[in-house]
Structure 1
């Protein structure tokens, strides 16, 4: 959400500029590199199984999707370019917002991210899940995520 608190992983940083290097790297990425990179953003107790990693990998590889990772990762650069517009949409909306957050998230680290979010997005509620949940709370704690979501939906 906020470029100033966003900490992309090393591979994302290398791929985000659509350079010749990025094009070359997209062809070098194999399952083990993918598994290590994705595993870094899951909590230590919520790592996907090998089968789940394989499902993610095959989904990414479908129709050579892995070859366009550098294009997809342009959102990292666009966060800076469009910050006022994108963050402005969050801060000025009248729609109820709810953030469900894993406090071990290395991409949007706690507590800096939460402090900034709560400061800027006034009309929002926040659910911080258990201490061992990270970047993908919907996968790492589906029950806690759904409970938080339904509590929000049923609150109005």
Structure 2
């Protein structure tokens, strides 16, 4: 059966609350391993095959705040998720979002600028990948109609994991503002 665009499911978005900060490639600083893997060089197949729990946990821990590190069990759960169906062997493909962010920056940011739905960012100010204040200044300049919740100073790249209650409160405050 052949489908046309009129057969697609239409979803109406009434609000948008990103928890990501990396929409702007100019203020996004990927980790060294992400940079190596996203470029798909000769080292990529070797690195993905040599990746192990300890390498993974150390790299992931670097983007969590000092007081919000996952427990060993949580690290193992995340590593198990990555390893499911040999997912570690396709990390380079998954990291293509970094290249796509650069390629589609104007279109993606343009869509956010043009939207009529309320926007709200929940941000961890200790984020080394989208650092404060550089990222937040650009976000507020480019998307002045968006509201922003900045969580406690020790919250980093994964605010929904590092401060679930603070994240939920910020999200619910945004929702309840309508």
TM-score, length basis structure 1? 0.98
Q: After TM superposition, list the pairs within 5 Å mapping 1:1-156 onto structure 2.
A: 1-156=23-178
1:52-107 C-alpha deviation (Å, 9 max, x unpaired): 00000000100111110000001111111111011111111111011000000000
Two-structure CA RMSD over aligned residues (Å): 0.7
User: Aligned to 2:64, what secondary structure does the other structure show?
Assistant: coil
C-alpha separation in 2, matches of 1:148 and 1:105: 17
User: Aligned to 1:63, what secondary structure does the other structure show?
Assistant: helix
Where structure 2 has 5 or more consecutive residues not aligned to the other structure, the ranges are: 1-22
8 Å contact from structure 1 (residues 102, 133) kept in 2: yes
C-alpha separation in 2, matches of 1:122 and 1:95: 13
The more displaced of 82-91 and 110-119 is 82-91
Runs of 4+ in 1 over 6 A off after TM superposition: none
C-alpha separation in 2, matches of 1:11 and 1:32: 14
Equivalences, count:
156
Where structure 1 has 5 or more consecutive residues not aligned to the other structure, the ranges are: none
Larger radius of gyration: 2
C-alpha separation in 2, matches of 1:90 and 1:21: 36
C-alpha separation in 1, matches of 2:71 and 2:117: 37
